[in-house]
Amino acid sequence: MKLFWAAVLAAHAAWGQTPPLYQNADAPLEKRVDDLLSRMTAAEKVSQMMNESPAIERLGVPAYNWWNECLHGVARAGRATVFPMPIGLAAAWDPELIFRMATAISDEARAKNNEFIRRGKRSIYQGLTFWTPNINLVRDPRWGRGMEAYGEDPYLVGRMAVEFIKGLQGNDPKYLKTVATAKHFAVHSGPESSRHSFDAKVEDGDLADSYLPHFEAAIKEGGAYSVMCAYNRVDGDPACASPRLLGDILRKQWGFSGYVVSDCGAVGDIFSGHKVVNSMAAAAARAVKAGTDLDCGSEYRSLIPALEQKLIAEAEIDASVRRLLTARFRLGMFDPPERVPYARIPLSVVESAAHQALALEAARKSIVLLKNQGGLLPLKKSIRTLAVIGPNWQDCAANSVRARTFSTRKAGNWPTDCPSWRPCRRPRSSPAMARAGAMG
């Protein structure tokens, strides 16, 4: 933070005049943003539209990396309180618990960021814009990311999303505590292998009833300030270049005023995966025109040749940069720390006793026990061996995963106090068990 304000003072000295409007913390937000935007060159504007945004030293704009994660605790930034995965949290059926958890996560996020800034660190996973929550519907296990989301029901997912977002973003009338990003918009839940070229063709009724309600709740009730567009196409248009999704639905119908970030590499997919344009410059221009403000990646470097080729106007770039700068102002990045209430959250909140107790409460509430009421399943207490059917049970990799799950020892060494589990073995005799492992 000292380095930032030193750069600001140096800029003032270079100008030889009073501080510019954008550095006046008491000026109206819109005027501050417009003032800063007006001082930037086209190349500087484009540089701020990628997740790894460099400093603009002549203007006192610090470097910033927009990529940060906190799906169930602040991730990849050192020690933090770890909560259950979302699919388990959904099983708690407790939105208020989600709010308290997200509040604890955002406390730790701010505390960590405060410390990073104090040390002059502004790298990936050290910021305040979090690409969370994942609110896609889990309706196909082949997706492979079901543990990240809150299940298959749009209503439940929406309730969890609203509380998670509120807890992350805080309730200060001027400053955002962090930014929550509802992802992946839209009709995105696998399979992973074809997501970079897949076209999700969905009927209007199914779109309205299944794939949009929880996103609408995240925006209109939760107030999510960011949305991540998905890799796939939706009815022919790449999600990150869809005027219908990003313009008509998100901004016009729902009144979304925040910014849209692409999934990582999704802008490149417009050209190389979906093949709906003939150049990267055309892909970048199409994404910005549709409403994708921030590129996770470096594809937006092609906006400079896109400008030269008149594929896009600088005013269209301005619209995206204005939304991105607004987010940074609302996070307090251009104001003295003493003006930002969240800048005072101490590092001592990280892994605090209160947060650890909350994590334990969440873990307990996420556990679901199934009761074989009325003998619905033909399972008797006298049964000593069960066959678990499926190809993964003969896979050594799957065996290793199970071993890590049920034991802290090396894969294959099972805890002695849990004799009902043993590593899968390929059956030697029964053809019917050719794809089965045994528990006994």
Q: What is the pLDDT of residues 108-145, one digit of tens each?
A: 999 999 999 999 999 999 999 999 999 999 988 878 89
pLDDT, position 385: 83
Q: What is the mean pLDDT of residues 284-305?
A: 98
Flag whether pLDDT at 314 surpasses 50: yes
pLDDT > 70 in the chain, percent: 85
Question: What are the φ/ψ torsions at residue 181 (nearest 5 degrees)?
Answer: -120, 110
Domain boundaries, the chain: 2-361, 373-439
Buried (b) or exposed (e) across 216-238, using 16+ Cβ within 10 A? bbbbeebbbbbbbbbbbbbeebb
Distance from C-alpha of 321 to C-alpha of 329, rounded to nearest angstrom: 12
DSSP readout, 11-37? HHHHHTSSPPGGG-TTS-HHHHHHHHH
Q: Which CATH class is domain 2-361?
A: alpha beta
CB 71 within 8 A of CB 55: no
Which of 94, 237, 263, 269 is the catalytic position? 263
Characterise 426 by phi-psi region: left (phi > 0), alpha (psi -120 to 50), beta (else).
beta
List Cα–Cα distances, 245 to 198, 208, 240, 254, 435, in angstroms.
Answer: 16, 12, 9, 11, 43
Range among 146-150, 380-384, 390-394, 410-414 with highest mean pLDDT value: 146-150
- State both tokens at 197: 């070229």
pLDDT, position 422: 43
Flag whether pLDDT at 201 surpasses 70: yes
Name residue 115's beta-bridge partners: none
Q: If you search the block for the tokens 């918009």, which residue do you land on?
A: 185
- State both tokens at 241: 């270049």
Tell which residue, 159, 162, 151, has the closest CA to residue 94: 159
3-state secondary structure 205-258: HHHHHHHCHHHHHHHHCCCCCEEEECCCEECCEEHHHCHHHHHHHHHHHCCCCC
Is 417 a catalytic site residue? no
Q: What is the pLDDT of residues 16-62, one digit of tens each?
A: 578 999 999 999 999 999 999 999 999 999 999 999 999 999 999 99
pLDDT confidence tier of residue 432, bands split at 50, 70 and 90: very low
pLDDT, position 91: 96
The model carries a pTM of 0.84
Distance from C-alpha of 359 to C-alpha of 353, rounded to nearest angstrom: 10
DSSP state of 58: G
